[in-house]
Chains A and B, each alone.
Chain A
């Protein structure tokens, strides 16, 4: 039970501080992976893939998945409810003066600083995902720069370049690229 309450509390914090939608919870998940033995940083890209390929908002899906890694069904429920509880309370509080809140200049000022920071945070998390995907190394810190050539996955690098070109040219749904890459991964034994 104690374990579940810790999980709940951690996701409560994520719900309170993740602003900006979509991948905003990603940097927090990496922090959790470093702090607790619930799941490893290497599992996070797989969580993103599953969350992108299943219906529902990305943040909720990732919380459910992370909670499941922690302790199965109960973990999923505690993590997800923890994630949405802060915003539920905040919205109930501000619902009386919604319009004032929205046009409040201090809210606007806060977001002027927040949005670039969230961009930087997700960028850093994405960088970690990229290193994990392209190199045979657990993390950025474990990379040996002298032996970079032997650590790089050439097949992965080629797929990365192909996908970069493809995604900027054809606006297909993310699920399409995830499924395609999964098939390529099986075909060429990544």
Chain B
């Protein structure tokens, strides 16, 4: 029981003190999980992170699930996963509740008018970063363009686009394999 609590509280701490998720969480993971608790080596954490990216869902939460499972089986996985989402739940709920009360204020509306511009710039940068990492050839350009247009104009559900792109990825790669001698 104590071990489950430590799993929960450790991931609470990491989730509650890092902004942004993804790779921003790596240094804190290394400090808490590798150095302090010695649950995994640095290489293992990087491996979990890589696998966390290849499974659906939130990378940090997936990494927590892996480490929790490795320590204490299914109960450990659940404890670590709950710990990783707990601070977000509390903090965001408090802010959402506060904003609901102040949303009508002119000051808040002006602030969000400016903030929306910043958010669009941040997304723009994220998309450029993803493009550089994921679009490696012409097929990728076509897939990205098709996903963009189908989502924007046809309003096709992202679920279908994600499924189709995964199947297409396999089909194209297997086709290429067949061409190689």
Contacts and interface: CB of A to CB of B under 8 A. Distances in A.
A128 B126 CA distance: 15
B27 interface: no
A157 to B, nearest CB: 9
A17 B81 contact: no
Nearest to B173: A109
B101 interface: no
Nearest to B151: A124
Contacts of A119: 127, 130-131, 134-135, 144, 147
Interface string A160-185: 10011001100001110110111111
Interface residues of A, number: 106
Interface string A19-48: 111110011100100100000000001101
A50 B96 contact: yes
A5 interface: no
Contacts, number: 366
Contacts of B56: 15-19, 86-87, 90
Nearest to B49: A21
Given A118-B162, A132-B116, A113 B20 contact: no
Contact of B148 (A19, A94, A124, A185): A124
Contact of B110 (A16, A45, A116, A189): A189
B151 A116 contact: no
Interface stretch (B1-9, B10-18, B33-41): B10-18
A53 B118 CA distance: 12
Contacts of B16: 55-56
Q: Which of B97, B121, B174 is most buried by chain A, counting CB atoms within 10 A of its CB? A: B121
B111 A101 contact: no
A148 interface: no
A138 interface: no
A178 B125 CA distance: 14
Interface in B109-124: 110-124
A50 B134 CA distance: 27
Interface string A139-173: 01000000000000000100110011001100001
B157 A68 contact: no
Nearest to A60: B88
A190 B110 contact: yes
A73 B55 CA distance: 28
Contact of A178 (B15, B65, B78, B119): B119
A115 B61 CA distance: 20
A91 B115 contact: no
A122 interface: yes
Contacts of A173: 19-20
Given A133-B119, A160-B117, A113 B21 contact: no
A90 B62 CA distance: 10
Contacts of A55: 15-19, 87-88, 91
Given A61-B88, A87-B61, A21 B53 contact: yes
B130 A118 contact: yes
Given A160-B121, A178-B118, 9 more contacts: A21-B22, A48-B123, A68-B97, A80-B89, A119-B127, A133-B116, A160-B117, A163-B121, A184-B114
